[in-house]
Structure formats: C-alpha cells, structure tokens
Structure 1
Amino acid sequence: MDGTTDPDGTVVSSSYLDHLPAAFRETPFVGEFLLAFEAILHGHDDVAGLQEIIGPERSSARSVLRVADHLDPATAPTEFLPWLAGWVGLTLRADWDADTTRGFLAEIVPLYRRRGTLGGLKRMLEIYLRPLGDTVTRDDVVIIDDFAEPAHYFQVRLTLADADPARLRATQEVARAIIDQEKPAHTFYALRVVIPTMRLVSTELRDAEDPPPELLILGRNTWLGSR
C-alpha cells in the first residue's frame, strides 16, 4: 500500500469500506483515506501493525480482537490499566490492586451519568474509601440534604469501625477530595467522621440490646487513665 493505485492502475481502497454503508463507496476518497488507519492496525511493508505488536502469538482474526481487549477493563493487561483510566479522567489509588481497579473502571462511565446527585456522590465515596482497611461500607456513608436553611447545604457522615488516628486522617483527606470534586459548584457541606467510643452501661442495658455489645468491665478489661 505505497500509493492509491496498483502498478496496473487499479485504485486501491481500504478493506474497511466493507464495514461502512454503501454511500461511502460512491467516491474513492474515503477508501484512500482509510488506508492510513488500516496501515496502522495491519502494518505497512516491513513495519508491524498494532495487531501484531499487541497480539503477535494470535491469528490475524484473533489479533484484531486483542486490540479491543485492551479497551475492556476486564481483559486489559494490568500495566495498561492506568492508561485506560486516563481515558475516562479517573485517578487511581496507589493501594488498589488490579481487581479493584478493573471493577472501578467498569463502573465509572455509568457512574458519571449520576454525577452531581446524592446517589452518585455516595457511590464514589464508597468506592474510594473502601480500600482504607475495609472499614467503610454502603451503610456507613450517609448524605443528608433536607435542610431548610441554609440553602444548598448538605452533610456527609462516615462511620468507621475503629478509631485508628492514621486511618481517620486518611479517610478525611480522601473524602474531602472526592466531595469537592463531585459536588455541584453552588453547594457547600460539612463532613463528619464517626468513630467508636467507649460506653459505660449497666448489665441490664447491655442485655436489652440485640445483639448485646461487648461488655467493658472497669478493672477487668477496661481502665480509665494509666494502669
């Protein structure tokens, strides 16, 4: 394909025309224009095409599919995932493994349709905060926006399973970054992170709860101040 005609004068057109409506075959321009793209994918003279570079061990038919595989989060090579994330404007967390990254990439485009909504913000927080020690679940992210005053105000409440200071700080930083990015520009919010605290209760109150919480007994398994 070193020109638009063969040595015998026959006009060379791209085989990609076979996949387009007949109207595109009325003039030779489209067939000649597509030759450049066909050369990139199938190769040209001694230059290998993308399908050979990406899947050289496969047959020609399967190699074409390998190109599409790189655009699917479920089948793309692990080293290709950050590049694929860049296509959809996604920032990957450093502590995500490949399976977590693939799951988020598969969900992010449909999730963009819910951007600016309570449901969309809640789901983004659940996804981004989940790897933080697996302490944040769907039920732990609560967004409240039914305040009469002030206007355009909402609250986000996150509940963690433990009171680790490093995890608390990381959760706050990640949550604020996500909320600032996803919320409508005219709104403002308050973020509250709830952590477990110690309660002093009677045995009667403990037995009344279902399921009963772990009982803390002063002097036996609980101390106030230094021991």
Structure 2
Amino acid sequence: MPDTSSYLNSLPAIFSEDPFLGQFLLAFEQVLTGLDAAKDEPKQGLEQTIANLSKLFDPSAIDTLFTDDEKTLKAFLQWLSGWTALSLRADWDTGQQQRFLAEIVPLYQRRGTKENLAQLLKIYTGLLPIIEEAPDRPFQIGVNSTVSSTISADTAQIGGGTPHRFRITVTMKSSSTDELARQRQIIQAIVDLQKPAHTYYELPILIRTDTMQIGSRSTVGVNTLLGSIPTA
C-alpha cells in the first residue's frame, strides 16, 4: 500500500508539503477508487464496484466476481434465475446454470412458440422433443380413412382438426421408474408454464431401444427407428 495518496496530485502543490494530508487522503482513496495491494476492507473502491455492476447480470462473466466462493456463486445464480421466472435444477453444476441463464432471456422473445418450448425442454432435460400440432385433415375415403381419436399422420377427421391441441413426444434411454416419473414431472411443469393458456397437449414418453416398434415408432420421417438413436 502506498504511503501517500495519489489524490495529492490533483491538489495545489502547497498541500504536498504536509505528510499528514497524504496519509489522511489514503482512506478516501481506498473507499472511492481503491488502492493496489490494500490489506483492509474495502478491497476495491466504489468506482470499481460500479464499473463491475453489469457483470452481476451477465451469467457468462459472473463467476469472475465469486472466484473464491462457490457457495455464494450458486446462491447468487439461484437469485438471478428468479428474474426469469424459472428455477435452476439442483443437479446442474455452476457452468450449466450459467449457460441456462445466458440462453433463457433471448428465448423469452419466442415464448409460446413451438421452437421456444422445444429448446427449453432440451436445456432442462437433455432430451430432444418432437412437438406436433393436430393436423387439419378432412375425411377422405382412400386418402384419410383411418378412424382414430389420437393425433397421427393418417387420422381421419370429421369437421376439421382438434383445435388448440398438440402432442410432445420424448424418447428416453431405458431407466428406472423413478427417473421416468421425474423427467415427466419436469417436462409437464415446463410445458404448463410456457404453453399458451388455451391449449392442451398429450405427452407420450418412449423408451429408447435399438429396434423399430410398430405402433410406437412407425411414422416415417418422424419416429421410425432403424438402428440406434444418436446421443443428444
């Protein structure tokens, strides 16, 4: 720490003759602009704190402010996520939490759209959802003639498609019943929060296998599987 405040350089030369004044101004310099190698608090001045204020709202840079305090960083990220009306998953590390916060704000520009919902589900679950809206396919014998109550490519519909309804298909690796229930709960919570209020949805969850399953994976170009599914 210097013996004399640099603030003396901004005063008339006559004030430099008094060594007490140089020591006295050190306290103000430490509080206002900071001192190199300061041993006492505050470690940085108000000007430095204000200059770094924007980093508190930049998820990609916030870790530079908490380099020695992982617990405080996690707590601050949780607080920051409250500004986005979403919660961070407890099993994410700080890097995943930072990436989520960095991506979520731009996604709000597309809130309520299929693209926004698909991206959110991918971020939260690591799965690649297939989101389909009910097709509007009139009853045509020989063209659309399969009578069914569920959404499919060849379902016959009398009076037009089911309004305000969509289906989200998610494929998971074989896992425990508890993990399946946990992922379903997460997906439903996200969809309920992000979907337009007047819409309804179906949520079939398929278990990933290495074979084609007629009736489960039989829509060519959508969910028919020949071979194994690449890792998301």
Fold conserved (TM > 0.5)?
Answer: yes
Q: 1:195 to 1:212 in 2, by over 3 A?
A: closer
Q: Normalising by structure 1, what TM-score?
A: 0.57
* Partner Cα distance (1:84, 1:157) in 2: 31
CA contact (8 A) 1:121 1:183 kept: yes
- Aligned letter for 1:72? D
Question: Identity percentage over the alignment?
Answer: 34
Q: CA shift at 1:97, angstroms?
A: 1.1
The letter for the 1-side match of 2:58 is D
TM-score by length of 2: 0.56
Displacement of 1:56: 3.4
Which residue number corresponds to residue 95 of structure 1? 91
Q: 1:152 to 1:69 in 2, by over 3 A?
A: same
Cα 1:175–1:168 shift into 2, 3 Å: same
Q: Which amino acid aligns with 1:145?
A: E
Tell me what 1:73 maps to.
59
Aligned residue pairs, count: 148
Partners of 2:203 and 2:227 in 1: CA distance = 30
Unmatched segments (≥5 aa) in structure 2: 1-27, 35-40, 67-72, 137-160, 213-224
Question: Measured at CA, do residues 69 and 181 of structure 1 come closer, stay the same or move farther in structure 2, by a change above 3 Å?
Answer: same
Counterpart AA for 2:177 = P
1:39 corresponds to: none
Q: How does 1:141-152 map to 2 (within 5 A)?
A: 141-148=129-136, 149-152=161-164
CA distance 1:61–1:198, change in 2 (3 Å): closer
Q: 2:184 aligns with which of 154, 165, 172?
A: 172
Cα deviation, residue 82, structure 1: 1.4
Instruction: Supply the RMSD in Å over aligned alpha carbons.
Output: 3.1
Distance apart, 1:147 and its partner CA: 2.1
Amino acid at match of 2:198: H
CA distance in 2, matches of 1:211, 1:143: 21
